Amino acid sequence: MSTGLEAVFAPVRSQTAFEETVERLGTAIRLGLLPPGTRLPAERELCGKFGIARSTLRQALVALGQSGHLRATRGRGGGTFVADQLPPSAPPAREVLDAWRDTCDQRLSVEIGIATLAADRASDDQLEALDEVIDELDTLLEDFPAYRQADVRFHVALAESTGCQRLVTACTEAQGAMTQLIELIAHPPEVLAASNHQHRRLLEALHRRDEQAAALVMIEHLRGTEHILAGLLPAL
């Protein structure tokens, strides 16, 4: 195995195992380390290399299949293969792609604070309204434009629950910048489901008024998005 592929198939961190696996494989495909038609190693071998459960690996493979990066075949000679032709993407704006990590960093710095304050300040009515948005998101996994609108409503409403107007403004700006990035990638329902599961865990922490847990789940949620972007954003 080449040095580059050894890095691709190195162990991932448990907190964002699904998203990081998508990033590793998506990046390797985009950079040509896994050329079109390449057959991936068997699931047992991949699980051992990544240090993840088979259910996590399968979730990542499904997401990459939904995005058009992988294809699976059955029968003799079957397996999981890199797609012969990658899915078309929107023409990337160089200034948006050049600054994508800065955009993620800005959002991280804003929304960790929001999660921490919301755990202390959000009213029960505000938390119940956020629960309703999460339930709505679960029904929109196959309709990304509608999902994204509800997702933005969730994060902005979370900011509003802090009672700090400056944080609402900062959150809105960060969400606008993220939308420019998110529009450049595919939106597999498997990824959206995983993201909304993190929303639900965040709300559980908020209902417990657990500031530390809320901040940690928010970090996991935003790092997960960053991994997905790293794996699926088009190359410059």
Residue given tokens 């910048």 in the structure block: 177
Q: What is the DSSP letter of 91?
A: P
Residue given tokens 């999902």 in the structure block: 147
Torsions phi, psi for 82 (to 5 deg):
-70, 135
Give which of 7, 4, 74, 71 is closest to 39, Cα–Cα: 71
At 47, the amino acid letter reads C
C-beta of residue 195 within 8 angstroms of C-beta of residue 185: no
Tell me the CATH architecture of domain 94-232: Up-down Bundle (1.20)
Residue ranges of domains in the chain: 3-82, 94-232
Question: Could you give the C-alpha distances from 156 to 111, 114, 145, 225, in angstroms and in order?
Answer: 10, 10, 17, 17
Separation between Cα atoms, residue 174 and residue 108, nearest integer Å = 9
Give which of 37, 41, 59 is closest to 49, Cα–Cα: 41
Question: Could you give the C-alpha distances from 96 to 22, 74, 178, in angstroms and in order?
Answer: 21, 40, 10
Separation between Cα atoms, residue 86 and residue 34, nearest integer Å = 12
The share of the chain scoring above pLDDT 90, in percent, equals: 65
C-beta of residue 49 within 8 angstroms of C-beta of residue 89: no
89-98, 138-147, 185-194: the lowest-pLDDT one: 89-98
Separation between Cα atoms, residue 22 and residue 149, nearest integer Å = 24
Q: Which two tokens stand for residue 103?
A: 């955009």
Class in CATH terms, 3-82: mainly alpha
- Model pLDDT for residues 107-122, shown as the tens digit of each residue: 999 999 999 999 999 9
C-beta of residue 84 within 8 angstroms of C-beta of residue 36: yes
- Residue 3 is predicted with a pLDDT of 47
For residue 79, the cross-strand partners are: 73
Q: Which residue has the higher pLDDT, 97 or 163?
A: 163
Q: How many CA atoms lie within 13 A of 63 on its CB side?
A: 30
List, in order, residues 6 or more apart from 141 with CB less than 8 Å away. Answer: 147, 189, 192, 193, 196
Give which of 68, 72, 104 is closest to 232, Cα–Cα: 68
Runs of H (alpha helix) within the chain: 3-8, 17-30, 43-50, 54-66, 94-98, 100-121, 124-138, 144-160, 165-182, 189-207, 211-232
- Residue 1 is predicted with a pLDDT of 56
- Residue 166 is predicted with a pLDDT of 93
Mean per-residue pLDDT, 28-55? 89
Torsions phi, psi for 234 (to 5 deg):
-70, 155
The share of the chain scoring above pLDDT 70, in percent, equals: 93
Q: Which residue has the higher pLDDT, 24 or 219?
A: 219
- Residue 186 is predicted with a pLDDT of 87
78-87, 102-111, 116-125, 201-210: the lowest-pLDDT one: 78-87
153-167, 173-187, 191-205: the lowest-pLDDT one: 173-187
